[in-house]
Structure 1
C-alpha cells in the first residue's frame, strides 16, 4: 500500500535517537550515513571538517597512542581550549581504549600537576596554547592542521610512558572520562564516568531537544566541564549536527553573533553570566532579522533569574529552556521541554530527563508535592562515586542515588524548582535564608545585572545577610533604591543588611559564581 506524501514527510522529520555505546563509537553512525556532512567548523577562517575527516584524525591519534605502551583503561590528561585539537584528542584517546581527563588550561601549572598526579595519569596531550607548561609526566603537543579545502592532518609524536601511582588504579576499560568537580579554590573531586554513563547522558540531551542533522551550535562553554562537553559537543556530534569552535577556542561576545550566522546555528547553551553579557550587548550587537532563527536557547550550571529569562526570549525570539545538572550525573538531570512537548514553568528547571528525581527530608523520606527538601537523582547517567574518596562516596552516593546537596521542590506534574544549596544557607538567628532566592530578587531589580549574597558573621544573630551587586552599564541605580525594591519582595529577615555596588563578581572556570571568593572578598 502506498504511503501518503504527508506521512512520508513526517517520517523523514521524525526525531531519531543516536545509537552509541560510549565515546569510542560516537561518530560511527554519522560516518556511515553522512560521511561528508560537516561535523566541526574550525579556525578563524571557519573551515568545515567533515565527519569522515574527523573520524580519520581520531583514528590516527588512536594508532599513535597505541604504540606508546599505554594500555586500555589507563588514564591520560587533555589540556586544551575548545579547538579541533581537543576534539581529536578526546575521541582519539577514547578509540585507543584510554580514560580521558580533560583539564582547564587556565589553571596554574602547579594545580594541573597536582590533579594529574592525584589521578595517576600516565601522560597528557596538550593543545597549542599550553605547550611548554612544566608538568610532572610526559606532555605531548598535539596539532591539527586543517586546510581551506577541508583536508586535515595530525602532528603528534608520543614517547614512552612511566608507571605511576594514583587513583587511576580504580579505573578500567569500561570507563570513558574522569571529570573534576571543583573550581580552583578548593580540592577537586574526581568523578569517573563509564561509557554507559556517557551514552545515556548524550542520548538524554539529544532526546530532550530533539537534536538532529539539521541542528548547529557555537561552542560557548568550555569542554573541560560537563556543560560544554556533553550538551554542546558530544550531543551535537552524536546526533549528526555541527559545532562551530570559536577562534582561539574561547567564547567571545564580540564575535558570537557572526559565529552563529556563519554556522546557521539553531540553538546554543550557556551559563547565566554569559546570557547576561549577550543581553547587555544586544542593543548594539544582536543582528535582529539577520540572526539565524533559533529553535531554543538553553541555560544551565547556575540559577537564571526569571526577569533575565523573559528578556532573553523577547530579544532572541526563541524559548529559553532552563536545565539542571552536575558532574556526578554526567551533566543533565532535568530540563524544561521544548514548547511543543510540554509547559514552560517560570522558575522551574523542568522535568527529569532519563533519570529519576526525588526530593527527600533529612531522614531520606520522600517529601510531599510542594514541600522542599534535598534533591536526589538515580539513573544510568549517575556515576558510581568519587575516585580516592571513600568518605565522600559513602556520603553522596546512597543505594544508587546521588545526594546532590541542592534544595528543591517537585510539583504535581513532576517539574523541579530549585531553592538553593544546603551548604550555602545563611542562618540568621535560626531563620534559614537561601542566598540563591535573595539573588533572584536582587537580579530582578531594574538596572541590576548580577548579584551575590553571602553570610556576614554577627555576634548576636550568628550570621546576617550581605550582598554585592553589579549594575548594568549606563544605569544609575544605587544601594538605597535596590534595598527598597527588596523590602517589597522579601521577608524582613531576608533583606540584605549590608549591600555594596561593585564593578564585577568573581566566577569559576565554568562560569558560575565563585562563592568562596565572594565570601573572602566581601564578608569580612
Structure 2
C-alpha cells in the first residue's frame, strides 16, 4: 500500500513506491532514480541512528548542492531528527556558532570543507558524529573523534527499510537559519506540517505535475532553493541540481538537454541572463514557468523574461522564511498589475494592520502584513522574545498568526503591493520613506541595472535617502540625470540626497542585494 503523506519524508517514500525507476535527480553528470535515493537515504538514516542520533536531535548538513546533500536531507528526517541546511560558504566562526546554538549532535559535510569545519567542530560541546563524504581516510584524518567516512558508515546498513518512525506532523522537521536585517542568525523552526502545507500550496498554483523538470541553482540553505527539491519529490518530478549560476552558458545548455520546465530565479540571475549576447541561441521553449520571489519584478525584468522565455508563464511571488510563501501573482494578471505581488497562496489568509494593531479596511492604506495559515513557523529556536514579536494571537482562541514586519498595501481588488520592511523605513524630514518606492523609479531609467536605497545619518534631516546604482554594460547615466528623474517622479522628501555609482552591489549567499553591507 502506498502511504499517506503525514511527514515530510513521506513525499520521497510515496514517489519511490510509485515511480521507483524514474530519474528523480540529475546532478553534475549523475542521474539517480527515486529507488536509489530512497535506498541511500535509508542507509544513511540507519547509520545516524546507530551512531546515537535520537528523535528531535539537530543535524547540520554543510554541503554544496550535491547528490550527498539531497540524500542527507531525507536521511536526517527518516532518523526522526531535525535538519538544518548550511550554506557551504559559511565560515568557521559562524559554523561554530550554529553548531552551538542548536546543540547539533551530528554534522554531515565533505572533505573539501575540512579547513572550515575542523575548527568549528572542535569548539562544539555537543557534536558526537561527523559524517564526511569525499576523500576520507580515517587513518590520516583526525578532525574529530566522531569523524567517519560517508561510504564506511553506510556500507553495512540496511537500505530497504528506514528506522522505525516516531515523529508526528507537528514535530520539527527543519531549522532554517536567517540573518534577518540585524543581529545574530535566527533559527526558523518549521514542522513537518508547515513544510508539507507550503509544498502543497505552491505546487497547486504552479500547476506542477509528475512530468515537470525543475531547475535547482539556488543554494539549498535558502528555503527557495530547498523547496525546489521538496516540490519536485512531492510530485514525482525530476530535479536538475547545480551548484550555482556562476556559468550561465553551461546551465542553459543543461536546461535544454534535460528539458527543464520550471525555472526558479532571483533578480541577480535574471540580470545575468539579460547580459548574455548568445541567449537566443538556446531553445528554451520547454520552460513552461519562471518564478521570482521576495518582491515584485521590475517591469524591465518582466519584459526581458517574456522575450527570453516566450512560452513560459511568469510568476512574481513574495514570501519570507517564517511562512515560506505569502503571495503569488497569477500570470494572467502580470500585464495589468505588474508591480503587485498578487494574492494569498492557497490555504492561507492575509490582512494588514495599522500601528495601533487594528485591521485596515481602506484600499491602498499602508500597514503591516499579517499571515494566517498552516505554513506559519513554530517560532524562532530558543528565542522567546523574538518569537513573541512575530507570533501573536489570531482569529481563533489559542492560535498564533505571523506579523511579518513588512509594510504593504492592498488595492480595491485585494491584490498586495510590497512597500518595504518596517526596519528599512527611512525617517527623513519627519516623513516615512520606503526605499522600495525610490528603487522602483530608479529601475525605470534606461541603463540602470541594479539599484538599492538605504537611510544614512544626516544632521539636518535625521536620516537621508542614499541611492546606490549599477549601470548596464556600455550604458551610463550621470548623477544629474538620476536626480532629475527622481525629482519628477517622487515627492521632494523621497528624492535621494546622495547617489553613489558602483560597478556592482554586494550580494548575500542567496543572490539578493545585501543592504547591510552598504550600510
Q: Same fold (TM over 0.5)?
A: yes
Structure 1: distance between partners of 2:78 and 2:463: 52
Determine the structure 1 residue equivalent to 2:369: 375
Shift in Å at residue 382 of structure 1?
0.4
Deviation per CA, 1:53-107, whole angstroms, max 9, x where unpaired? 1111111111111211111111111001111111100001111111101111111
Distance in 2 (alpha carbons) for counterparts of 1:387 and 1:505: 31
Specify which of 41, 47, 53 is matched with residue 64 of structure 1: 47
TM-score, normalised to structure 1, is: 0.86
* Structure 2 contact 466–497 (Cα < 8 Å) conserved: yes
Counterpart-to-counterpart distance in 2, 1:251 and 1:95: 33
Distance 1:172 1:209, change over 3 A: closer
- Cα separation, partners in 2 of 1:355 and 1:249, compared to 1, 3 Å: same
Match of residue 410 from structure 1: 410
| 2:131 partner SS | strand
How far is the alpha carbon of 1:511 from its aligned partner? 1.7
Matching residue of 1:363: 356
SS at match of 1:69: coil
The 1-side partners of 2:351 and 2:181 are apart by 31
* Matching residue of 2:278: 284
Partners of 2:320 and 2:12 lie apart in 1 by 25
Match of 2:258 in 1: 263
The worse-fitting range, judged by mean Cα deviation, of 319-328 and 305-314 is 305-314
Aligned residue for 1:327, secondary structure, equals coil
1:109 aligns with 2:92: yes
Which residue in the other structure is 1:242 paired with?
238
2:389 is aligned with 1:395: yes
Partner Cα separation in structure 2 for residue 350 and residue 213 of structure 1: 26
How far 1:320 moved relative to its partner? 2.1
Partners of 1:395 and 1:380 in 2: CA distance: 19
What residue in structure 2 maps to residue 164 of structure 1? Answer: none
- Equivalent residue for 2:433? 433
| Deviation of 1:487 (Å) | 2.1
Structure 1 CA distance for aligned equivalents of residues 133 and 52 of structure 2: 18
| Aligned mates of 1:481, 1:176 — CA distance in 2 | 51
Query: Pick from 199, 204, 208: which aligns with 2:205?
Result: 208
Residue 379 of structure 2: SS of its match in structure 1? coil
Structure 2 CA distance for partners of 1:285 and 1:172, relative to 1, 3 Å:
closer
Q: Which residue pairs with 1:21 in the alignment?
A: 6
SS of residue matched to 1:298? strand
In the TM superposition, 1:13-162 aligns within 5 A as 20-43=5-28, 45=29, 47-132=30-115, 133-134=117-118, 135=121, 136=124, 137=127, 138-143=129-134, 155=151, 157=153
- Change in Cα spacing, 1:22 to 1:270, as seen in structure 2 (3 Å) is farther
Matches for 1:276-315 after TM superposition, within 5 Å:
276-281=271-276, 283-288=277-282, 290-315=283-308
CA distance in 2, matches of 1:342, 1:517: 32
Tell me what 1:348 maps to. Answer: 340
Cα contact 2:170–2:193 (8 A) shared by 1: no
RMSD, aligned α-carbons: 2.3
Relative to structure 1, the CA distance from residue 251 to residue 212 in structure 2 (aligned partners, 3 Å threshold; closer, same or farther) is farther
Query: Distance between the aligned counterparts of 1:465 and 1:37, measured in 2?
Result: 54
Contact 1:396 1:403 in 2 (8 A): yes
Structure 1: stretches of 5+ with no match in the other structure: 1-17, 145-152, 159-170, 520-524
Q: 2:189 aligns with which of 189, 192, 204?
A: 192
Partner of 1:162: none
Q: Is 1:320 matched up with 2:314?
A: yes
* TM, length-normalised to structure 2: 0.87
Q: Contact conserved, 1:367 with 1:373, CA < 8 A, in 2?
A: yes
| Distance apart, 1:142 and its partner CA | 2.9
Q: In structure 2, what is the Cα distance between the partners aligned to 1:34 and 1:225?
A: 28
- Paired residue secondary structure (1:488): helix
Conserved 8 A contact 1:448-1:470? yes
Q: What residue in structure 1 maps to residue 490 of structure 2?
A: 490
Q: Call closer, same or farther: CA 1:199–1:252 in 2, change over 3 Å.
A: same
Distance 1:403 1:183 in 2: 14
Query: Is the contact made by 1:429 and 1:462 (CA closer than 8 Å) also made in structure 2?
Result: yes
Q: Distance in 1 between matches of 2:219 and 2:287?
A: 21
Number of equivalences: 474
3-state SS of paired residue (1:157):
helix
Report the equivalent of 1:149. Answer: none
Q: Do 1:77 and 1:125's aligned partners in 2 also have CA atoms closer than 8 Å?
A: yes
SS of residue paired to 2:260: coil
Alignment pair present for 1:384 and 2:378: yes
1:37-64 Cα deviation digits (max 9, x unpaired): 1111012x3x321111111111111111
Closer, same or farther in 2 for the Cα pair 1:298/1:316, shift >3 Å? same
What is the CA-CA distance between 1:157 and the residue it aligns to?
A: 2.8
1:182 matched to 2:179? The reply is: yes
**1:303 Cα deviation after fit:** 4.5
Q: Secondary structure at the match of 2:440?
A: helix
Cα distance between partner residues in 2 of 1:22 and 1:87? 17
